[in-house]
Amino acid sequence: MMLRHRRTVAAAALAAAAVSGLPACSAVLGEEASLLDATSLTVGVKADQPGLGLEDGDGGFEGFDVDVALYIAEQLGIPEENVEFVPVTSAEREQKLDDGEVDMVVATYSITPARKTEVTFGGPYYVAKQDVLVRADATGIQGVRDLEGLDVCQGEGSNSAVRITEGLGIDVVQTDAPSYSACIELLRDGDVDAVSTDNLILAGFLAEDPSAFRFVNNPFTDEKYGVGLPYGDVAACEAVNKAISTMYQDGTAADLLDTWFGETGLQVVTSVPQFEGCV
């Protein structure tokens, strides 16, 4: 069944959590807590990434990440009316999970060794590729090595530009912006030469204004999108992985990818990703 939701709904707080002071998602099992005991979820998603996580103007959110989160919640036994979406930026994802402001993050959250010291990741639910977006008239940029000496924008809290400089040894001028939507505006205005990040993110922005930008379409890294969970919640991680497997096996993942990216020309992957492991 294909999902495409354009609304957000309030999550009901657990009575036990209110008494104990735990996050609304958690119930106490001895000294352990797990999302598997939840009757509601607060999920952090992006609010400014077309096709992935975008605030719709009516207080709701839409996109691939939003629909993936709803599918996972359903598989965990949590109905849609008990799922609340809240916006998160790249820079604040770990902190909001650690503080209990959100119970889960589904927000183009690449799994990295450093982040795994603070967050337990389910998935990945999709493996994107890092690529480059330039202005439509920038015909001289055909691959990442053509960015040598140019100004490349990355969103705050992202590692995209670092993968170019430290990972590939390409000397670029790095510009940090509050978000990738801000990077896109800098690119549009000619203040930077390129934006480099995951191809799903770039494809979403390209679909919004295909005449202004050009997708280089020459990927150079894998970006494993994980479901961010409270650190140490292995049981929830395993359940999330099972839900993701089912999402690909029953055709939902392919339907969602076609819904959100089918008109962008991006070649998407519809096979079950190889999971990272929960421990």
**Residues 151-170, mean pLDDT to the nearest whole number:** 90
Q: How far apart are CA 190 and CA 105, in angstroms?
A: 33
Q: Encode 165-179: b = buried (16+ Cβ within 10 Å), e = exposed.
A: eeeeebebeebebeb
For 12-48, what is each residue's pLDDT tens digit? 333 334 333 444 444 333 346 789 999 999 999 999 9
Please say whether the beta carbons of 252 and 71 come within 8 A. Answer: yes
The CATH-assigned architecture of domain 15-127+224-261 is 3-Layer(aba) Sandwich (3.40)
What percent of the chain is predicted at pLDDT more than 90?
Answer: 72
Q: What is the pTM of this model?
A: 0.81
What does the pLDDT read at residue 3?
34
Please say whether the beta carbons of 53 and 65 come within 8 A. Answer: yes
Q: Which residue has 């009316």 as its token pair?
A: 81
CATH topology match: 15-127+224-261 vs 129-221:
yes
Separation in Å, CA 54 to CA 8, 66, 141, 228, 231: 12, 9, 29, 18, 26
Please say whether the beta carbons of 76 and 119 come within 8 A. Answer: no
For 46-84, what is each residue's pLDDT tens digit? 999 999 999 988 889 999 999 999 999 999 999 999 999
Rounded mean pLDDT of the chain? 87
Q: How far apart are CA 161 and CA 196, in angstroms?
A: 7
Q: What amino acid is encoded at 174 in this protein?
A: Q
3-state SS, the chain, equals CCCCCCCCCCCCCCHHHHHHCCCCCCCEECCEECHHHCCCEEEEECCEECCCEEECCCCCEECHHHHHHHHHHHHCCCCHHHEEEEECCHHHHHHHHHHCCCCEECCCCECCCCHHHCCEEEEEEEEEEEEEEEECCCCCCCCHHHHCCCEEEEECCCCHHHHHHHHHCCCCEEEEECCHHHHHHHHHCCCCCEEEEEHHHHHHHHHHCCCCEEECCCCCEEEEEEEEECCCCHHHHHHHHHHHHHHHHCCHHHHHHHHHHCCCCCCCCCCCCCCCCCC
**Strand 151-155 relative to strand 173-177: parallel, antiparallel, unpaired?**
parallel
The domains of the chain are located at: 15-127+224-261, 129-221
pLDDT grade for 6, boundaries at 50, 70 and 90:
very low
For 82-137, what is each residue's pLDDT tens digit? 999 999 998 899 999 999 999 999 999 999 999 999 999 999 999 999 999 999 99
CATH topology of domain 129-221: D-Maltodextrin-Binding Protein; domain 2 (3.40.190)
For 195-222, what is each residue's pLDDT tens digit? 999 999 999 999 888 899 998 988 988 8
